Structure 1
Amino acid sequence: MDPRLRDLLVRGGGLVVRRDAIRVTPVWTIQAAWRAGRLVRLLPRVYGDAALIRDTTSDLPPLARVDPEVARRAVLAYADGRGALSGLSALDAWGLRQQPPGEPLYVDLPRGSGLRGRPHLVVRHRAGFAVEPPQVVVRGGLPVTRLDRTLVDCWSLLPPVDRLNPLIRAVNDRLTTPQRLVAALAEVPRTTDRAALCGLLDRLTAGCRSPLEIWGHDRVFTGPGMPAFTRQARVRVGARTIYLDMFAEAERVNVELDGAGTHADPAEREIDLRRDALLATVGILVVRFTHRRLVANPAEVRQETLAILAARRRLPMIR
């Protein structure tokens, strides 16, 4: 291979754009390296070192057979500064879901850019799109669509079973808020299963922070006799700040829903017991329901909760 072309590949992390190559070397050097099997065309005008191909026997397009990090850089080189990773590729960059092998990459571009989709690459053209804040941020050195828009866009791209987790994680990790997600959804009037997404955002706005809490909210802890629980209520106990899952303030009762994997570690169980004891020092009763019991006996859990709340109301200190 021409040493000048090799130098460009080294400086480009294994990638070279045709425009840059022909500035320092004749165009035939690219063609010769490609014919000799030393270069592979990943996208129009974007080439990679053939050594980057991980599976030489697969029928998948070359872009699907290089390391994901290399593939993302190749896509952005193809976009030539006009695009940002979006959809499932942006969700990967945000660390909320890893793209599996064979899944196409996504890039957003301004309408009228002239670039189109390729094998293993989905190009989406958006009116008024620009690779700058607030529409685009930099993650890991790469431009990606802002998180709230990314999550809304991915709702229709993910299978139903995988849709809730990225949204819930993003809110729990304080990467975004339900209000920002609602605003992003307003930007996308046509969304698959829009009613389901609106319902999820309503639950997140109400304070639900797990699929189990959403299930309990819909089937157990709302309706006749139930108070308006404050979810994720912030309580100060001495120097500590504690967040309560579902707090009935008048009755001073906090309902905690323990997930299926909760307390597998005895140390975690001890932490929760100490926390519950600390809350008791300020008159807050913690009532815990397991995942199994909540799902298997929702009516029983509901009646027990109502009985506990009624008993607390009869205590002189609660009146």
Structure 2
Amino acid sequence: MNIFKALSMGKGRLNEENMSAMLGYLLSPRQPHGLGDLFLKRFLSTLNNFGGCNGRFDNVLDTKNPLEAEVLLEEPYSYLGKKWFVDLVIQIYTKGSSLNEKNEVHRIIIENKIHPQSSNFIQLKSEFLAVLEDLKSQQAQNTTDITMVFLTPDITIGPLQSEFSALLDSDLENHRKAWLKWTGDSSIISIIRSVLKDESIGDIDPISDYMRHTLKAFIRHVLDSQEELKNPSTIKSNDPGEIKEFVLARMDDVLYRIEQYDSSTIRVYNLETQENEVALPMLKRINIELQLGLDTHFSSGQPKNTRHLGKEIIRSLKEQGKAESNPST
């Protein structure tokens, strides 16, 4: 039995919050998993090998002392009046000059994407700017290094690339970003496997049978989930295929992504709740509230279906300049 597979069935399915919680549990030296700071150090070592991050964490890895770290889930930050909830925040400290003083030297922000369609291309950049503003408000000098980690499936898809690319090097200045995958080389799964391998040959202290089986079950669940995304033959028959075109629309300060798939299916995805809306009523609402002026019926009087109306709304949002644009500057 795989407990992760059981929990992912029906409405209790594992989502990004659940997966982030499991990852946060492993990353925190304070949790009773029996790994101490081992998983966190291997995570930092993996980031240390990414382009742009080479040697970034040497100052905390080149010591035999246990890492002083705090891991936070769904941490709220504010930027330009909008609240952003960061999936995972890792704050790493070193001892200060006085006995009880400690300095935050690294703040690692993990934006976790389990499903590519949950991508919001303004999110990673907005979260970075929100964290940067928060640090500047707390420190006279910015002495904490920020590293933005974009954690996604091991596939390439347009919206994911757009979100990662929207955070420019000119925005980062001395800070860094890295695109880490759940599977593949130098991934979360490869880190877990390295822990299991070293434990089996005695290179690290033994871990409990329960924790060992939990890690193996988690690996299997992640691999099965990712295979469904990469291999069309394993996807359910009601899957619409790949996104052919999408556009963003904002109503009541909520951002929606209207997606057209290569099968002509139209979906309206709520980027705040990370759920699909009932498409046709939402398309009609977008048409009214954004004053697109589209007729929801054909000349014969027959009502337009979701595919016809969705296609027209995507085109009208672009032509009328009412679509949300990519804030890449």
Question: Do they superpose with TM above 0.5?
Answer: no
Q: What TM-score, normalized by structure 1, do the two folds share?
A: 0.24
Structure with bigger helix share is 1
Q: What TM-score, normalized by structure 2, do the two folds share?
A: 0.24
Rg larger for:
1
Bigger relative CO (Cα 8 Å, ≥ 6 apart):
2
